Amino acid sequence: MVDDTLGVDLLVLLGGLPVSVWIALALVVFAVASPSTTKARKLRRIPGPWVYAATRFRLSWDAWRARSIHAVLELHRQYGPVVRIGPNEVSFNSLSALRTIYGAGSGFERTSFYRMFDVYGHRNLFTFESGTLHRDRKKLISHMYANAVVLGPEFSPMIQKKVAEFLSLIRREPDHASEIFRSLHYFSFDAISEFVYGPDHGGTSALLGCKESQGLIADILNPARRRLAWFAIHFPVYTKWITTRTGLLERVLTSLGLMPMRKPFTYSGIRQHALEAFYSFKSAPAEVQVKAAENTVIGRLFKVRKEANLSDMDIASECADHLLAGIDTTADTLMFLIWAISLPQHQHYQDKLRDEVSRICVDDENNSVPVPRELTQLPYLNAVVRETLRLYSPLPAFEPRRSPIDTVIDGYAIPTGTVVGMSPFCLHRDETVFPSPLQFKPERWLTDSGALLPEADLRNRYFWAFSSGARMCIGMHLANAEMLTLVAALYREFRSSTKLPDTSPGITSRFEVFFDETMPKMVEHECWIDFSSPKDNNHNNIA
């Protein structure tokens, strides 16, 4: 049965168009939905509303309203774990499909969707469609992101230093730091920039008050970037043309409201910074480049550039992508975590967390910031982080893959070339695995004795915040180390409370907006938190 609201939404989308346009659209829908091929007949057996199967513009309309993955979740609740969401697109929501599509050696490859993340016109680890090209590039740098390396003596002090600088910002500029969407972006930006480029050739100092570094993330903070992402996905040729216009034509298009986003476009400032960082490193003395091979991503790529046949722009694109990938994801997760345990109804979670982290032994050598390696053993801290990643996954949207051959997934025939995929947003809201899925409940990751759940537990198998298989997030261990260390250090020293207890922060992820839907209000890219001493029962703001 088709949801009546789908027809209403379609009428809203198409209402007011000339008759000629209606006729053209009808012909397109008829052509797309025509059962003239074996592929079409196979896909017609997959459950889902006819309007989504007939035209890709129905899901595009959901995306325009920043609600496409929410719409897909509702379709799964109505039709089950397999649902057709486009003429050539199928969404799944099961462990068996997860293993088939994303498991090691699955053969499913990325689609052209990811080309929007190319940098300087060159592909990188994130945008390679070919599994072979991805594997070859990943081998060059994967050891940099290994857990033992991230938690080792090279990078652990860097993480502690950035955490100490964040705490210092709270003490030094409480009014500035209390808007944590912005201040946490300073933290993640400073950390990943030094990890990728080192402190002297691209490392930033936003936490220390550098206006240039702080200004670089201005285009990230602009929520209008999701509109640009929507156009880039659904109308790539038009987007490429219109965003490259300059001079009078650009001003006219902007004044008419036809430009998807006013300049500077999203990430443009950071990409320029990354390019300058590349050339700065390239011109550095040979001994500096050799030394950097052990403690920066760019140094490692320079070391192997000849044998790996890497061009200058291959290296620049790869480094810029790692930089960009490490900013929003870590900052957004930390923001939601701090906000969630700052709510009045969640203060008991904050108290449990503070009790656990207050028993850590620290030394003054690292500004009393805990050692990242030791934090991996704290069950409640890890449970709080894991629950945040479940409920507020920083990349919650649909991850498309293309079927290389005719195959069967969850009992349905999937023809070659069909786009299939899943999303953390849907998987993490399966009520049979996570009862009351919209509630923030860290204890769902703990056994009755208070230990973390064993890896084999069904809840862990459904946890998909970092993807899985060969395409699993390469920066997972670095992100975890940053989050665990900042949260532990923060709640050893401060108590937090939200200034707006009825308002959820919202984040932009591609062309979607994600927030806590149990809250009556939402504000995008803004979150105000008061920090106080744990001994201060009045929760007065730090001065």
Domain ranges of the chain: 4-112, 133-222+266-395+429-462+465-532
Contact yes or no for 326/270 (Cβ under 8 A): no
- Tell me: the pLDDT tens digits for 316-368? 999 999 999 999 999 999 999 999 999 999 999 999 999 999 999 887 666 78
Contact yes or no for 430/98 (Cβ under 8 A): no
Distance, first Cα to last Cα, the chain:
59
pLDDT at position 36, please? 47
Q: Which residues pair with 420 in a beta bridge?
A: 90, 401
Element holding 384 (H helix, E strand): helix 379-391
pLDDT at position 26, please? 52
pLDDT at position 178, please? 97
d(CA 190, CA 486): 13
User: Does the pLDDT value for residue 538 go beyond 60?
Assistant: no
- SS3 label, residue 164: helix
- How big is the CA angle at 378 (ends 376 and 382), to the nearest 5 degrees? 70
**Predicted TM-score of the model (pTM):** 0.90
Binning pLDDT at 50, 70 and 90, where does residue 18 land?
low
d(CA 384, CA 382): 5
d(CA 373, CA 160): 11
Share of residues in the chain with pLDDT > 90 (%): 72
Binning pLDDT at 50, 70 and 90, where does residue 536 land?
low
pLDDT at position 213, please? 95
- Tell me: the pLDDT tens digits for 121-165? 899 999 998 889 999 999 999 999 999 999 999 999 999 999 999
Nearest alpha carbon to residue 198 among 302, 127, 272: 302
For 522, list phi and psi in degrees, rounded to 5.
-145, 140
Does 210 appear as a known binding residue? no
pLDDT at position 93, please? 98
pLDDT at position 404, please? 86
- Tell me: the pLDDT tens digits for 446-472? 999 999 999 999 999 999 999 998 889
Mean pLDDT of 40-51: 93
Mean pLDDT of 80-84: 98
- Tell me: the pLDDT tens digits for 437-452? 999 999 999 999 999 9
Question: What ranges make up the beta strands (E) of 387-535?
Answer: 399-402, 407-409, 412-414, 419-422, 495-498, 503-509, 512-515, 521-524, 529-532
User: Does the pLDDT value for residue 73 go beyond 90?
Assistant: yes
Mean pLDDT of 529-542: 69
Contact yes or no for 330/188 (Cβ under 8 A): yes
pLDDT at position 1, please? 31
Contact yes or no for 522/515 (Cβ under 8 A): yes
Domain covering 133-222+266-395+429-462+465-532, topology: Cytochrome p450 (1.10.630)
Mean pLDDT of 507-529: 94
pLDDT at position 361, please? 84
- Tell me: the pLDDT tens digits for 408-418? 999 999 999 99
User: Cα 246 to chain center, whole Å?
Assistant: 31
Mean pLDDT of 64-76: 95
pLDDT at position 10, please? 38
Tell me what the pLDDT averaged over the chain comes to.
89
- Spell out the residues 6+ positions from residue 288 whose beta carbon is closer than 8 angstroms to its own: 200
- Tell me: the pLDDT tens digits for 364-410? 666 789 999 999 999 999 999 999 999 999 889 999 999 889 999 99
